[in-house]
Structure 1
Amino acid sequence: MPEILDIFNQDAFSAVSLTDSVNMVQNTYGRLNELHLFGNEPVMTTSVAINISHGVLNLLPTRPRGGPASLGAPERQKLEAFVIPHIPHDDSVLAVDVQNMLARAPSQGLESVLGMVNRKLITMRRKHAITLENLRVGAIKGVISDYDGTPLINLFDKFGITPKVVDFTFGTASTDVGSKCREVSGYIEDNLMGDTMTGVMALCSPSFFDRLVTHASVKEAYKYFVSTQNPLRNDLRKGFTFQNITFEEYRGSATKLNEDGTTTVQRFIPDGDARFFPLGTTETFANYWAPPDFVDEVNTAPGLLEVFVAPLERMKFGKGIDIHTESNPLPLCKRPSVLVRGFSSN
């Protein structure tokens, strides 16, 4: 009699082993993930409080030796609380899903329940990854939104900041695009508030990038761009530096399921827009991670695990297996005054 695989063996399918299985799936989706812009900060609670300081740097007067020193004024501070989004996602494997199915290469023969479960976990992991990318793009836009575009957190409102918008007016041939770029860089430098940066980057919608590199004041610079690649021969949408700003075409998008059953493609950077932000900062961007909604993980820091998997649950009468995953990320820009939106009015 052949040996029967017990898929509910807790040694093989404990919460830890399943989470490890999911995290072995590399997060290949997301430019912001590749940039390592957000530092990871695990917390033990489901919300975080940010202390917003409005310190002002003043010139200090000279004093005669032995005389009284000048006194510092107390900083104006405000505490703002942010709820960390909770993103649960469930799926299942039914007996009918596996029955008579052929295993995928390189395996041979019929599909196994274990193989189907692993494939489901990979798909679920990637859904969490694209969701995280959407939240991170929201952080560099200053408005973190839910899957359907509903705003969750408006950082500009929270910090009492008027968003900076620069009109590049690409439709006018005489526009000095270099001057517009220097306006962006100067604004970001003035608002770092004690932090440092190594450069400025712009994630551009395809239409913004195309209008940028074809504008009269940029065209020659793009043509002779100093790079290991030749722009006359190669595609430089993945990084064109002009006026010390790295412009990159960004095509990140996701499919949204509408209530009527139809689907629409939602671009993370709206058409015609570009989003500018500093690179190499130390305190401006952070990704907070809350513990999962599991009784064994209450009030514990989650470490650096992006996705958690609950132990598998057997359905009634053994008809299938229920799978539960969740992530609890909050990417934040703690200095939204360094974020700039670019667009063209003509």
Structure 2
Amino acid sequence: MPEIILPYSNVDLTTEVNKLPNTFGLLNALGIAPGEAKRSRLVRIDYREGQIVVLSHREPGGPGEITDDGVQTGIILSIPHFTHFENILVGDIDGLLEVVNGQITDVSLDAELERKLITIRKNHSITREFLRLGMLRGEIKDGKLRTLYNLYDVFGVEKKEVDFALGTAGTDVRQKCEEVSDHILSNVKGETVGGVESVVDSKFFAKLISHAKVEKYWLQAQNASVHTQLERQRLGGNWGRVFEFGDIIWREYKGGLPVKSNDGSISTVKNVDDNSGTVYPSGTQSMFRTFDGPAYHIDRVNQAPTVDEEGSIFISTKELDHGVGLELKSQSNMLAICKQPDCLVQVKTN
């Protein structure tokens, strides 16, 4: 990490924390909902319900058909604000030793600062992943599990749910997959779709691959030996299995994220609820986005942040009274959105 000389400026610290890679999160690793910088803390999503029709024959030179462009409407959403504080106190450094490259040396301010920046990056990274998971569920929540936006209510569409009934041996699983794909492809309305993919929890995944109809299909397939060997993808810290069936890529998302309640206790919320998951279209142009707004700071008013796939974190500093230490305030302003939640299918099993 480059040496930072006191006094630490906001620009220096912001640059340093944004250089740290975000290696956490399956959705981040898959590139779902890439970041888009905004100069405003408000996002307007416009859409037009135009109708595409098959044209009828007309005599050459005659009047052509006129298609209604539909009424353009818009939804305005506010980008949530997430903050985190870290302190570096004299007691964290003074008189302490550490081992660096096999050598015992005094703890330095730069080394302690680097540790704090890594902690800050991790906190904001898992928050970004948590928002994207909520986006796929259609209900975006914050770290206290308060609902920020229910996308189905915001866009006025009905949630599509399909019960795969994987506990029943006679269930036609391929037909269930076809129902899911049909719903997605009939609602894309001008978007592009490269494929259909999903994220499901371990229980749903295990029941899917062991269902009698699924096992029978692969045993009878010419390339059964290939498909019976499940692939594992080590993406974003997730060591989940991947399985393609019914023209859908099924991804297992293990683990959960820590959240803090009002009383300060920490619990783990599963990335995907038991026996459930979400199927979504992949390869779209702009259906999924993570909007990054400007920092809530007088120096950044109406300035779009510099955003890449890792997002943007802004850090400001304050020297504590009487020189006892340094306070770091970090913030990110982000909102993950699916602009067409009627293309999401929530799957479950009994």
TM-score normalised by length of structure 1: 0.91
Distance 1:264 1:322 in 2: 27
Secondary structure class of the residue paired with 2:46: strand
Distance 2:205 2:228 in 1: 14
Return closer, same or farther for 1:6/1:176 CA change in 2, 3 Å cut-off: closer
Give me the identity figure in percent: 32
1:7 Cα offset (Å): 4.8
1:56 Cα offset (Å): 1.8
Q: Is the 8 A contact 2:187 2:343 kept in 1?
A: yes
Most deviating of 167-176 and 251-260? 251-260
Q: Which residue of 1 aligns with 2:340?
A: 335
Aligned length: 338
Q: Which residue of 2 aligns with 1:313?
A: 318
Q: What is the aligned counterpart of 2:112 among 116, 123, 136?
A: 116
Q: Is the 8 A contact 1:188 1:278 kept in 2?
A: yes
Distance 1:308 1:283 in 2: 23
Return closer, same or farther for 1:121/1:343 CA change in 2, 3 Å cut-off: same
Q: What is the aligned counterpart of 1:159 among 155, 171, 175?
A: 155
Aligned residue identity for 2:260 = L
Q: Which residue of 2 aligns with 1:254?
A: 257
Q: What is the aligned counterpart of 1:193 among 175, 189, 195?
A: 189
Q: Which residue of 2 aligns with 1:283?
A: 286
Q: What is the aligned counterpart of 1:24 among 19, 26, 33?
A: 19
Q: Show CA shifts across 1:107-158 (max 9, x none).
A: 6312112211110111111110000000011111111111122210111111
Secondary structure class of the residue paired with 1:342: strand
Q: Which residue of 2 aligns with 1:88?
A: 83
1:200 Cα offset (Å): 1.0
Q: Which residue of 1 aligns with 2:268?
A: 265
Secondary structure class of the residue paired with 1:332: strand
Q: Which residue of 2 aligns with 1:97?
A: 92
Most deviating of 274-283 and 68-77? 68-77
Q: Which residue of 2 aligns with 1:143?
A: 139
Stretches of structure 1 that go unaligned for 5 or more consecutive residues are none
1:183 Cα offset (Å): 0.8
Secondary structure class of the residue paired with 2:97: coil
Q: Which residue of 1 aligns with 2:237?
A: none
Distance 1:78 1:156 in 2: 16
Aligned residue identity for 1:77 = Q
Distance 2:338 2:100 in 1: 44
Aligned residue identity for 2:347 = G
Return closer, same or farther for 1:277/1:58 CA change in 2, 3 Å cut-off: same
Most deviating of 258-267 and 330-339? 258-267
Aligned residue identity for 2:6 = F
Aligned residue identity for 2:247 = N
Q: Which residue of 2 aligns with 1:56?
A: 51
Distance 2:92 2:64 in 1: 78
Most deviating of 224-233 and 44-53? 224-233
Secondary structure class of the residue paired with 2:47: strand
Q: What is the aligned counterpart of 1:37 among 32, 45, 69?
A: 32
Q: Is the 8 A contact 2:51 2:67 kept in 1?
A: no
Most deviating of 302-311 and 328-337? 302-311
Secondary structure class of the residue paired with 2:215: helix
Q: Show CA shifts across 1:38-66 (max 9, x none).
A: 23321110011111321222222222122
TM-score normalised by length of structure 2: 0.90
Secondary structure class of the residue paired with 1:248: strand
Q: Which residue of 2 aligns with 1:326?
A: 331
Q: What is the aligned counterpart of 1:68 among 63, 71, 75?
A: 63
1:21 Cα offset (Å): 1.2
Aligned residue identity for 1:206 = S
Q: Is the 8 A contact 2:48 2:69 kept in 1?
A: no
1:239 Cα offset (Å): 1.4
Cα-Cα RMSD: 2.3
Distance 2:175 2:136 in 1: 23
Distance 2:291 2:10 in 1: 22
Q: Is the 8 A contact 2:52 2:67 kept in 1?
A: no
Q: Is the 8 A contact 1:30 1:252 kept in 2?
A: no
Distance 1:281 1:171 in 2: 33
Distance 2:58 2:92 in 1: 82
Q: Is the 8 A contact 1:128 1:307 kept in 2?
A: no
Aligned residue identity for 1:75 = G
Most deviating of 78-87 and 17-26? 17-26
